[in-house]
Structure formats: C-alpha cells, structure tokens
Amino acid sequence: MKITIFGLTISSSWGNGHATPYRAIIRALHCKGHQIHFFEKDVPYYRSRRDFETCSYCDLTLYQEWAQIRAIALETAGASDVVITASYLPDGQRISDEILGLSRPLRVFYDLDTPITLRKLESGGVEYVRCDQIPDFDLVLSFTGGKSIAELEKRYGARMACPLYGCVDPDVYTRVAPAQEFTCDLSYMGTYAADRQARVDELFVEPARRHPEMQFVLAGSMYPWEWQWPANVRVMEHVAPYAHPQFYSSTRLTLNITREEMARNGWCPSGRFFEAAACGTPLLTDCWEGLDWFFDTEHDLRVVTSADEVEAALMMSDSELRQMAQSARHRTLQEHTGEARARQLLQYFEEARSASSSKVETSEVA
C-alpha cells in the first residue's frame, strides 16, 4: 500500500508531540511492507532543531512553499492508496482542498490535537482545517477518544471518526544504562503550558521544595528562564529523542501532567506515558476520564493529585516501584506500540474504504 502524509513535522521532536507517534507508526507500517511518503514544510523553528533530514522507513520531502512542490505532491498523492493531512499542517486548509479533490486515494484527516481543534472551531476556526472539509474526508482520526469522537461525527458530520492514540516504538525506547546528567528521584518531561503550570508547581516543584535532599529534573522548552527554581531542580530546555531512553532509565520515578483541554476531554494518553513505561520507569500521573482503559491504575502506575501523594510515591520501596514499572511495561508492549497502532490504522482504512464503497453503490442503485 502507498500512503502519503502531509504533517506538521516528523524530522523534529522539539516542542511538539507529533514527531514521535508519526515515527513509531510509520516505521511499523514500513516493516509491514507499506510505502510511505511524508511531506513537511521546512519552517525555521524545526529546521534549527531537526533530528534528521532523511530516514530509512519513509521518503521525506522538506519544502519551502506549497506552490513549489504542489505538482509533484499531488502526483504522489494521486497515485497513493491513502492520503493523510493533519492538524497544525501549514497551509492545511489549502492542501486538504487539493487532496479532497482526488478521486483514487482514501482521504484521511488525522487530528493530533482534537480538543484544541474542537474548541477553536467553536470560536472562529483553525488554519489547518475548516468545518465544511470534515464531512468530505473518508476517515477522521483523533489522538483523543471519548466524547471527541461523538462530536466529530454528530456535530461536524465526519463520515467515520476513530481514535488513534499515542504509542511507542519499543525498539527505540527500552531500558539502558543510566546517565549522570539525568539521574534523579523524580523527573518531568513536558513543554511549558500556562494551563498546566499550576499542577507542575503542585506535583513537581512543591515536592522538590519539601525534599532538598532529593534530586529533580525538568526537561521542556518555552519555560520562562528567569524563574527561580529550587536548588535541587535541574532544568533542561530539550532532551533529544535519542537520549529519551537514557533520561527515563536514569530517574527513579517520572511524572506525567496533561494539558487542561486534553484532560477535560479525557481519553488522552501522552506519548510520554508509553515511552517511560517501555523503558521500565515507574509512572506518576494526574487523572482523566479513560485513564483506566490504558493502564491499571492500581498496579501499573500511581495517580497523584497533590504534593502529599507525590511524596508518598517517593517513599515507596525500590521493589514496589520495580513491580509497578514491570506491570506498566508489559501492558505497553502488548497494547501501545507503533505496531499495535499500525494494525489499528490499517483496519480503519479497510472499514472506511468499505463504507465509502457501500455509499457509492447505494447512490448508483438509487
């Protein structure tokens, strides 16, 4: 199968949650014998923070302007079995109009930011997709499940909406020898976001203040660097993807905190969940609807809502933490890998194509 994807970025993981799941899923599709071509606009922000310009598991085209590669892009897309456009794609509305005009491929929209998209559609729209385009896609994929799926179908007229959650590539994310620079009692990896900073303060900074004898590491971009962090908190602007296994393997516990809009919707696992779990690192997380579908909240991880609960987790024995981490790792490798998501994606393609064919046949009979 030939699959063409127009997305935000696969080449840079800096300050976005798109590149990592793209890589895991596309690599798994490649291993199954499928051919993937990824088109990415070469924007300055990602150009200066790029992890690679070519990769072994897909053809990658970096372009300056859509007009410069429009002809070859549409030729490639038109000869494909499936074409995907996605959230935060530069010139996304225009590109989707072009893709929706193609008759051969299955037309898919993948929203890796669904709660944000839905909120903004209510209050003026987003640059990467219009309300009137949603019903024209054969399939709409959502990074979050739950009520987002119902809203996409019932309110915005999506023909078929399905969840395609985050995932991990276990060949890349596995336990490795710890690194001195990352060694700590508790870590948190996440880009700065105003709507979750209060929880970062409560669940990460406050435990650090209470325990000056412990070490804490925060890795994330866009934090105001003039802030005064506790002396036992090491702040890193970015940890490159190749170093993530070392990062997680060097920390006794790691913390997940969800963006407010995502948490409000629920069914929104961060890829960091699966990365840390695959590396055998014990997980702490805030709570949201659907969490217990992805992990056993009694055995795989600990849900924390206060600094006191984080402290309690930090006091757990090494054997307790190790058992918890092993349980989460087993579940992740069974259910949340790029291979698992690739299987789901291929099944969605078949279902969407069947639904589209049935609709055409019904129209012809009528």
Over residues 286-295, mean pLDDT: 95
Return the pLDDT at 139.
98
- Top pLDDT among 169 and 221 is at 169
Mean pLDDT of 80-102: 98
Alpha-carbon dihedral 336, 338, 343, 346, rounded to 10 degrees: 130
Q: Minimal CA–CA distance to 17: which of 293, 337, 258?
A: 258
Residues 36, 109: Cα–Cα separation, whole Å: 16
HEC string for 217-237: EEECCCCCCCCCCCCCEEEEC
Average the pLDDT over each of 57-66, 94-103, 185-194 and give the range with the smallest value.
185-194
- Judged against a pLDDT cut of 60, whether residue 110 lies above it is answered with yes
Cβ contact 284:256 at 8 Å: yes
The rounded mean pLDDT for the chain is 94
Nearest-angstrom CA–CA distance, 280 and 321: 10
- Nearest residue to 14 via CA among 50, 60, 65: 50
Position 15 pLDDT exceeds 90: no
Q: Is the pLDDT confidence value at 202 over 90? A: yes
For the segment 185-191, the average pLDDT, to the nearest whole number, is: 94
pLDDT(149) > 80: yes
pLDDT more than 70, % of the chain: 98
pLDDT greater than 70 at residue 364: no
Kindly list the distances between the CA atom of residue 140 and the CA atoms of 136, 151, 185, 310, 357, in Å, as whole numbers in the listed order: 10, 12, 41, 38, 17
pLDDT(365) > 50: no
Q: Which amino acid is at 300?
A: D
Evaluate whether 30 touches 51 at the Cβ level (below 8 Å). Answer: no
Say what the pLDDT of residue 358 is: 63
| Dihedrals phi, psi of 358, to nearest 5 degrees | -65, -40
Residues in CB range of 336: below 8 A, 6 or more apart? 165, 166, 167, 168, 269, 273, 274, 277, 294
In this predicted model, which residue has the larger pLDDT, 162 or 241? Answer: 162
Of 98-107, 139-148, 246-255, 263-272, where does mean pLDDT reach its minimum? Answer: 263-272
Q: Name 168's bridge partners.
A: 337
> pTM, whole model, 2 decimals?
0.91
